[in-house]
Structure 1
Amino acid sequence: MERVTLGSLAARLGLSKFAVSRALSGKSGVSADTRRRVQELAAELGYARQPAPKELRTLGLIFHDTDLINSELHVLIQSGVQAEAQRRGYQVRMRWTHLAEEVEAFVRTCSGAIMVGPHERHTYDRVYALDVPIVRTGWLDPLEQADFVGGSDHEAGSAVARYLVELGHTAIAFVQGTPGYRGRMERYYGVREVLEQLPQVSFRQMTFEKEVRFTEHLRAIEAEGFRPTAFFCAHDGLAVTVISELLRLGYRIPEDISVIGFGDYSAATQISPQLTTVKGHGQQIGAGCVRLLDDRINERMARDIPVRLLIASRIVNRASCGRARRVAT
Structure 2
Amino acid sequence: MVKIGQIELGEFPLLLAPMEDVSDPPFRAVCKEGGADLMYTEFISSEGLIRDAAKSRQKLDIFEYERPIGIQLFGGDIGNMVGSAEIATAANPDLIDINYGCPVKAVACRGAGAALLQDIPKMVQMTAEIVKCTHLPVTVKTRLGWDDKTKNIVEVAERLQDIGIKALTIHGRTRVQMYKGEADWTLIAEIKNNPRMHIPIFGNGDVDTPQKALEYRNRFGVDGIMIGRAAIGYPWIFNEIKHFFKTGETLSAPGMAERVRATKKHLEFSVRWKGDRLGIFEMRRHYSNYFKGVPDFKPFRTRLVEVETEAEVMAILDEVIEAYSTSLVTA
Name the TM-score, length of structure 2 as normaliser.
0.29
Greater relative contact order structure (CA < 8 Å, 6+ sep): 1
Q: Whose helix fraction is larger, Structure 1's or Structure 2's?
A: 2
Please identify the structure whose Cα radius of gyration is greater.
Answer: 1
Name the TM-score, length of structure 1 as normaliser.
0.29
